[in-house]
Amino acid sequence: MGGIKIEPKTAIFAGGCFWCMEEAFERLPGVIEAISGYTGGWVENPTYELVSTGETGHREAVKVIYDPSKISYERLLDVFWRNIDPTDPGGQFADRGEQYKTAIFYLDEEQRELAEESKRRLELSGIFDEPIATEILPAKEFYPAEDYHQGYYFRFEANYKGYKLYSGRLGFIKSVWEKNRHFRLFPEREGYWLGYVKPSDAELKRQLTPLQYRVTQLGDTEEPFHNEYWNNHEEGIYVDVVSGEPLFSLLDKYDSGTGWPSFTKPLEEWAVVEAGECEGFLCGREVRSRFAGSHLGHVFDEPTPTGKRYCINSAALRFIPRDELRRYGYTAYEGIFK
């Protein structure tokens, strides 16, 4: 007997140049296909040249076909907002005109409600000083763009990278979202790290500080007593600095006298994996995060309540204070501090 077949779903987004938006969505686990095209206007079967006049009512857009058992519409909304300037009412970056205005085109009432809610949450986040200009509109006929536009980001990689850089989109995304990368539009939807896909080494070097990179990727060890969290006693949890997966809690943290953050156990049994054996007296076994595979530190057999001491590098961790757990998507752990 086969399993239950999950039917693919469709979402439509206009985010300026459709080359950039196709790349943003098509790389996501759970997305089957992202198609560049035109929608929102009144001209049937439009061409690129006709849409480029700005007189058809159409916008460059992408139709995203996705597997709802692997990726949610909320996640697609999150990716959409992170790849545009939602405060620009006249286009996107170097591309100006009606055809480059941003919009979420909803296909049913559920999508409309989620789109409206995502916009409201983004407005309340304080990330942007200017009003959110992106429209939320009912979907109209979607017309696929010409073949040479499809998959442009990988078929003409050099041209595409140059365009994304010099149009201003790449710089804007980095300037806004690198410092807000842990913000989540729908924090009540737990487990966004479960589908984590490790980026390239070059991207990790851009994302992490030199020390964070050396520790998590090369297995280095930071200095004792001169690291961020060894003496932190604030209520909250510690997550992987790379992926955000939850690792440890203040409730299991104690002063081991070593100068590194020490815990008697992980936050979840599955959260931390032992990655190596050890030899010699009182040696430690390497521990890594389950999904990102980040080097965290070592675990030692010691006389604690659990019989173990997890000696962890601060550089491998990000601390989420108790009062920010909901904001960053860790509502499942709010109750542990009562």
- Residues with catalytic function: 17
Q: Which sign, positive or negative, has the C-alpha torsion 169, 171, 172, 173? A: positive
CA dist 81 and 64 (Å) reads: 15
Contact 83, 34 (CB under 8 A): no
CA dist 182 and 193 (Å) reads: 11
Residue 67 three-state SS:
coil
Angle 189-190-195 from CA coordinates, rounded to 5°: 105
Contact 29, 162 (CB under 8 A): no
Phi, psi of 9 (to 5 degrees): -120, 170
DSSP state of 103: E
Q: Other C-beta atoms within 10 Å of 338: how many? A: 4
CA dist 217 and 315 (Å) reads: 11
